[in-house]
Structure 1
Amino acid sequence: MLIKILFLCFVGFLAAIIDAIAGGGGIITIPAYLLCGVPPHIALGTNKLCASCSAVTSSYGFIKSGKANFKLLKMLIPFSLVGAIFGVNTVLGLDPKYLNVIVLVLLFIVGIYTLFSKDIGMENKFKGLNKKNIFLGIIISFSLGFYDGFFGPGTGAFLIFGLTAVFKFDFVRSSANSKILNCTSNLTSLLLFAFNSKINYSIAIPVAICMIIGARFGTKLALNKGSKLIKPIFVTMSLLVAIKMLYQVVA
């Protein structure tokens, strides 16, 4: 048991670094839980506790940096929260595999489009809020809040891409705002998983501590290195999540 926990702590640390920079940490942690024999619903709940600790740490670092847009976030956070509630209540009764094909296709599109769009996310071209981009932001927040509660892998990548495309943020500002939205859906999902007794605390607590350390390190890297670091990691994680899902569909 000790070896399994040490393995999961190491995996969690690496996942938190990557997740703080570009999202996609769930592609690393959830398979690790399953590999160690944690049942699927318990793996999702345990991962939510650890991911929430990581997300809170990253969010705090981005907030301190001044990269978060709170005028926007106060309008989007409630929809992310409500979406997560619906998502968790849905996943507790359904098999998430039905989302695999849709998410697979979308992640490939996001990754390839970002890879070949040289300018996307490299400069902050945000020109203010209007009815159109707020409406699109609400749709993104609710949909990805639901998806995060229901399934999860790729949520950070979708949020970063969505905020970059709709609001014309650079990758650093998109990462900052997406991490806070992701933190909202994570915490909401966590409460519901905890209420339904779907968390293994003996695993979650040590892994969460390691993920907090990883998140601090990853956030500093993202803020110091900027969009030049985030973009290639973002593309890589988007395509890796898609490849993993493709393997699940084929297998």
Structure 2
Amino acid sequence: MTLTLVWLCLFAALAGFIDSIGGGGGLVQLPALLVLRSDIAEAAPAQLFGTNKLAAVTGTAAAAVAYNRRVQIDWRLVWPAMITAASFSMLGARAAVLLAPALLRPLVLVLLIAVAIYTFRRKTFGTSARETRASARPTPYVLAIGAAIGFYDGFFGPGTGSFLIFLFVGVLGLDFLHASVSAKIINVTTNLGALVYFVWAGQLIYSIAIPMGICNLLGGVLGSRIAIRRGSGFVRAVFLIVVVGVIVRYAYEVIFA
């Protein structure tokens, strides 16, 4: 178990690092828990998801705090999105009980491919802030983005951070660095509701979740500092790598599941 915990902590640190820059930490951390599940005595799937959520929220919150100290955040955009995201994430979670979230995989795969192609072909996309139709009167757009992302996160989840970053860049005209900062803050909001439920239901393995959370936090702080130092071009590159990774994962699941 000691060696397993060391591996899980290393994967958690890597997940926090990746997620703090371009999203997609779930590509690393949750699969690590599932692969090493046999080494965790009597671990039910719900406990693994709860453990993953605590570690992820810790790192995301730390990255958000680190960004907030060094990057100016436009709270006109963040607050409305936080409110609708939190509300609609609960509706999404309710829908997940009634429907099969796996039905969304083909659609998510198509959307991610479109995001990757669009971002790759437009070399200057998100490298600097720009004026858009939405940026003049952003509130309705921000409310809609928060609602859509919140529902998706509650219903299905994977790729939430990447979609949120893309929408903040494409619709609101933010550069990748500021979009990533905004996404982190909103992600904390949508994830906290799920974490509260897992804690209430007792579905956490604290002996694993706490050290993983500390390592995810360290990775998140390191990643946010590098992102601030390297700028939007670096965040854009990491974002593309993460999106391609998510595409490969879901292409495999759609084809072979």
Decide: shared fold, TM above 0.5.
yes
TM-score range (shorter-chain normalised) is over 0.9
1:2 aligned partner: 2
Quick one: which of 206, 209, 214 aligns to 1:209?
A: 214
1:57 is the counterpart of 2:59? no
Inter-partner Cα distance in structure 1 for 2:226 and 2:56:
18
Which among 216, 239, 246 is matched to residue 241 of structure 1? 246
What are the superposed Cα offsets for residues 107-145 of structure 1, whole Å, 9 maximum, x if unpaired? 1111111011111101111478444x4222222212212
Q: After TM superposition, give the deviation of residue 146 of structure 1 in Å.
A: 2.3
Give me the whole-angstrom Cα distance separating, in 2, the residues matched to 1:92 and 1:209: 31
For residue 143 of structure 2, what is the amino acid of its counterpart? Answer: I
- 2:102 aligned residue (97, 100, 118): 97
Q: Which amino acid aligns with 1:51?
A: A
Please report how far the alpha carbon of residue 94 of structure 1 lies from its aligned counterpart in structure 2 after TM superposition: 5.1
1:136 aligns with 2:141: yes
Alignment of 1:156-171 (within 5 A): 156-171=161-176
Distance change >3 Å, CA 81–CA 199, structure 1 → 2: same
Distance 2:59 2:108 in 1: 24
Amino acid of the structure 1 residue aligned with 2:225 = K
The structure with the largest alpha-carbon Rg is: 2
Q: How does 1:143-154 map to 2 (within 5 A)?
A: 143-154=148-159
With 59-68 and 47-56 compared, the bigger mean Cα shift is at 59-68
| Contact 2:80-2:146 within 8 A present in 1 as well | no
Shift of residue 100, structure 1, vs aligned partner: 1.3
Identical aligned residues as a percent: 34
Q: TM-score, normalised by structure 1?
A: 0.93
**Shift of residue 249, structure 1, vs aligned partner:** 1.4
1:21 counterpart residue number = 21
Answer whether contact 1:101 1:249 (CA < 8 A) is retained: yes
Runs of 5+ unmatched residues, structure 2: 38-42
Please tell me whether the aligned partners of residues 135 and 173 of structure 2 are also in contact (alpha carbons under 8 angstroms). no
Could you tell me which residue of structure 2 aligns to residue 85 of structure 1? 90
Residues 111 and 236 of structure 1 are in contact (CA less than 8 Å); yes or no, is this contact kept in structure 2? no
Corresponding residue for residue 219 of structure 1: 224
The residue that corresponds to 2:113 in the other structure is: 108
Give the conservation status (yes or no) of the 8 Å contact 2:130–2:173: yes
2:50 paired residue among 30, 45, 57: 45
* Counterpart check, 1:123 vs 2:125: no
Aligned alpha-carbon RMSD (Å): 1.8
Give the TM-score of the pair, scaled to structure 2. Answer: 0.91
SS of 2:171's equivalent in the other structure is: helix
Q: Bigger CA drift: 58-67 or 217-226?
A: 58-67
- Contact 1:114/1:235, CA 8 A, preserved across alignment: yes
Partner Cα separation in structure 2 for residue 239 and residue 77 of structure 1: 27
Q: Conserved in 2, the CA contact under 8 Å of 1:84 and 1:189?
A: no
Aligned residues, how many? 250
Q: How does 1:152-191 map to 2 (within 5 A)?
A: 152-191=157-196
